[in-house]
Amino acid sequence: MAMREIRTIPDPVLRTPCEEITVIDDRVRSLVDDLLETVDHDGRAGLAANQIGVNLRAFSWNIDDEIGYVLNPRIVDLSEDEYQDGEEGCLSVPGLWYPTHRAWYARVEGTDLDGRKVVVEGTELMARCLQHETDHLDGMLYLDRLEKSVRKKAMRELRSQL
C-alpha cells in the first residue's frame, strides 16, 4: 500500500474517461490498496483512480467512518424529485468550493476484487460522493456541473491560481 500523490487540474488524466477493468490482477489489487490508503485521511470523502494517475474505473470513499471501494461503478439510480445544493470541493481542484446541484440519493453498482456484485447507495454526503467520483471516472470535474455564472467565477479563480 502506498499514499499516492493527487493529480490536480490541468493534468489531462482528469479529463480522460477511464477504462473498464476487465482482469483483476496484481495491478488492480495494488490500485485498490493505494486508493484505500490515500483516501484514509481527514477531509477526504472520495478518490477516483484517475486522481492518482491510473486510467481505470475504480474509486474509494471515506464517509461517516466507512471506507470502501468499487470497481467499474455505474450510477443506476438517482432521486428524481429530491436534490441538494451544498458546497462541493475536490482534491484535484484544491482550495475551490462552490455550490453544486446533485441528486439527494444515489445508487452505484459495480464489483469487488473477487468479481462479486457491489451495491453502494446513500443520501446527502454519500450520494454526493458517489456522483462526484463517478463523474471523475467519466472525465468530468464538479466544475463542469456548476451553473453558468458560478462556473465563470470558479474558472476565473482557478486561472488566477495556476
Strand-pair category, 66-78 with 93-99: unpaired
For residue 132, say whether it is annotated as part of any ligand binding site. Answer: yes
The backbone torsions φ and ψ at residue 122, rounded to the nearest 5 degrees and listed phi first, read: 180, 175
- Catalytic residue check, 5: no
For residue 41, say whether it is annotated as part of any ligand binding site. Answer: no
Q: State the cell numbers at 102.
A: 446533485
For residue 90, say whether it is annotated as part of any ligand binding site. Answer: yes
Counting runs of H as helices and runs of E as strands, what totals does the chain give?
A: 3, 9
Query: How many CA atoms, within 13 angstroms, populate the side-chain half-sphere of residue 152?
Result: 2
3-class secondary-structure state, position 122: strand
Q: Which helix (H) or strand (E) element contains residue 77?
A: strand 66-78
Q: State the cell numbers at 33.
A: 490498496
Name the catalytic one among 66, 124, 133, 147. 133
Residue bearing cell 488492480: 28
3-class secondary-structure state, position 140: coil
Active-site residue list? 133
- What residue numbers does the annotated binding site cover? 90, 132, 136
- What residue numbers does the annotated binding site for Fe cation cover? 90, 132, 136
